[in-house]
């Protein structure tokens, strides 16, 4: 941790420094630049780069792409989907994304290597100063107030090896958008909460004939021996001759610590019909895994000039493991709060506005995430998971309601009776 008096040479000065050019950081940088603020966007790797993800986007994420001015047409390289195909308990059910005033009625698929670069370039195009191969090494603190006033960083080559002197990027506000590991948050003393669920995702790609499938496919019966695990398997066609195939599992099962996830993925795929093409010879990439930080597992989301967005703030949806939509939404919210704060006349007024960010997040997601924590705790019991799989999928109307709940797709104002019920549940659930 570096204080002002010890800091190396200054490489940039901006209103806001954003650490990490994933969906959260790029969304924040774009909206900040659109608000007329100067932004330095730091990314430790070079685009294009790989990220472990299902590559499937729900209508929540699509809405944020539209808000960033991204062309989501098929002509622009996006594969659209109609909704979710759910398989389990001897049933197969195809559920369309709901028709709502607040969200589009389609989802998208795009490889993360392409997706993240697209967002970062959009932020750069509209005024953010994107700096790739810039590895942030720690915060720079004001030695009197203890506030973060910038970050130290070193230039690196494509392998991550240092190739130049450490420098400082200064900002009035710093945003941590550096993912689940979020070394910047740790350096500021923000540790994970142990009372929040954690997910693990593993995925790979296969050449297969279902590459242009118009549905995101989800399998609910994932077993380790005889144990039915809380989670699901997915098959998302990429539109390029391959499909993204993976598993998402929760730590609420007693079997979680002992599961060999790569082996579990292989065993699950062996159960599928061979004509679908999920055989070893068709695998195009190694199996890779990543942690899914859920339900606000790192707090506070603002302190001493540092604001957390996306995975750095544990904003993955506990119900379905979706992270991209919440990363982009939180980046958008952070940008709005910061632009309002920096327009204030005094330091006290600016701080008052910035301290509203955690409250807004809890108002927006807190009750819903609490419902999600209760849900994942329930399905951690294999008996509950089996009952939900065997009985739930035989009731299409019930599953349509469940889809709205799991994907967080309701109209916040008005809507139908289901929307009003789900919104009311999220409001009465305690936000923590």
pLDDT tens digits along 3-62? 766 778 988 999 999 999 999 999 999 999 999 999 999 999 999 998 999 999 999 999
Contact indicator for 66, 156 with CB cutoff of 8 Å: no
234 three-class SS: strand
Contact indicator for 200, 261 with CB cutoff of 8 Å: yes
Task: Chunk the chain into consecutive blocks of 10 residues (it has 432) and report each block's average pLDDT, rounded to whole numbers.
Answer: 76 96 98 98 95 94 98 96 93 95 97 95 98 97 95 92 93 97 96 93 94 95 84 95 95 81 92 91 95 96 98 97 97 98 97 98 97 93 84 86 95 90 95 91
Half-sphere exposure of 182 (CA within 13 A, CB side): 33
Question: CB under 8 Å to 35, separation ≥6 — which residues?
Answer: 335, 336, 339
Report how far Cα 236 is from the mean position of its chain's Cα atoms.
17
What is the residue whose two structure tokens read 């703030």?
313
Contacts of residues 84-88 at CB distance under 8 Å and 24 or more positions apart, as own/partner, are 84/215, 84/216, 84/217, 84/218, 84/403, 84/407, 85/215, 85/216, 85/217, 85/218, 86/218, 86/220, 86/393, 86/399, 87/217, 87/218, 87/219, 87/220, 87/221, 88/219, 88/220, 88/221, 88/389, 88/393
Listed residue (230, 277, 236, 279) closest to 255, CA to CA: 230
pLDDT of res. 385: 86
The answer to whether the peptide bond before residue 415 is cis (omega within 30 degrees of 0) is no
State the DSSP code for 177. -
Look at the chain and count its residues.
432
| Span 67-121, pLDDT tens digits | 999 999 999 999 999 999 999 988 899 999 999 999 999 999 999 989 999 999 9
* Domains recognised in the chain with CATH numbers: 2-79+109-193+294-367 (3.50.50.60), 198-293 (3.30.9.10)
Pairing label, strands 288-293, 198-207: antiparallel
Q: Please report the DSSP string for 326-369 in residue order.
A: HHHHHHHHHHHHHHHHTTSSSHHHHHHHHTHHHHHHIIIIIHHH
pLDDT of res. 127: 98
Separate counts of helices (H) and strands (E) for the chain:
12, 21
Contact indicator for 3, 142 with CB cutoff of 8 Å: yes
pLDDT of res. 369: 97
């Amino acid at each position: 941790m570096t204080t002002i008096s010890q800091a190396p040479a200054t490489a940039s000065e901006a209103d806001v420094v954003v650490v990490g050019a994933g969906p959260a950081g790029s969304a924040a940088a774009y909206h900040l630049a659109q608000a007329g603020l100067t932004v330095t966007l730091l990314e430790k790797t070079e685009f294009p780069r790989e990220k472990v993800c299902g590559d499937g986007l729900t209508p929540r994420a699509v809405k944020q792409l539209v808000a960033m001015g991204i062309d989501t047409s098929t002509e622009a390289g996006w594969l659209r989907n109609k909704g979710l195909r759910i398989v389990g308990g001897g049933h197969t059910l195809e559920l369309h994304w709901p028709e709502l005033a607040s969200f589009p009625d389609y989802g998208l698929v795009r490889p993360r290597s392409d997706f993240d670069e697209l967002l970062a370039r959009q932020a750069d195009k509209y005024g953010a100063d994107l700096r790739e191969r810039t590895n942030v090494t720690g915060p720079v603190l004001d030695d009197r107030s203890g506030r973060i006033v910038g970050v130290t960083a070193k230039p690196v080559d494509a392998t991550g090896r240092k190739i130049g002197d450490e420098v400082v990027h200064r900002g009035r506000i710093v945003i941590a958008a550096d993912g689940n590991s979020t070394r910047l948050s740790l350096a500021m003393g923000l540790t994970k909460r142990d009372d929040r669920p954690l997910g693990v995702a593993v995925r790979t790609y296969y050449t297969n004939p279902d590459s242009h499938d118009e549905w995101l496919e989800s399998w609910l019966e994932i077993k380790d021996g005889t144990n039915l695990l809380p989670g699901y398997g997915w098959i998302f066609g990429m539109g390029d001759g391959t499909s993204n195939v993976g598993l998402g599992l929760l730590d609420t099962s007693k079997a979680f610590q002992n599961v060999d996830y790569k082996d579990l993925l292989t065993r699950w795929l062996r159960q599928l019909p061979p004509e679908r093409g999920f055989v070893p010879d068709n695998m195009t990439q190694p199996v890779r895994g990543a942690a899914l930080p859920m339900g606000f597992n790192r707090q506070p989301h603002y302190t001493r000039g540092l604001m957390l967005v996306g995975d750095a703030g544990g904003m993955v949806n506990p119900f379905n493991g979706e992270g991209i939509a919440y990363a982009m939404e939180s980046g958008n919210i952070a940008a709005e709060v910061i632009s309002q704060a920096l327009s204030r006349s005094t330091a006290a007024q600016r701080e008052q506005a910035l301290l509203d960010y955690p409250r807004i997040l809890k108002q927006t997601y807190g009750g819903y995430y609490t419902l999600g924590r209760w849900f994942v705790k329930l399905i951690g019991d294999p008996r509950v998971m089996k009952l939900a799989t065997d009985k739930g999928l035989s009731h299409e109307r019930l599953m349509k309601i469940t889809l709205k709940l799991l994907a967080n797709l309701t109209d916040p104002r008005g809507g139908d009776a289901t929307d009003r019920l789900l919104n009311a549940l999220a409001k009465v659930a305690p936000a923590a």
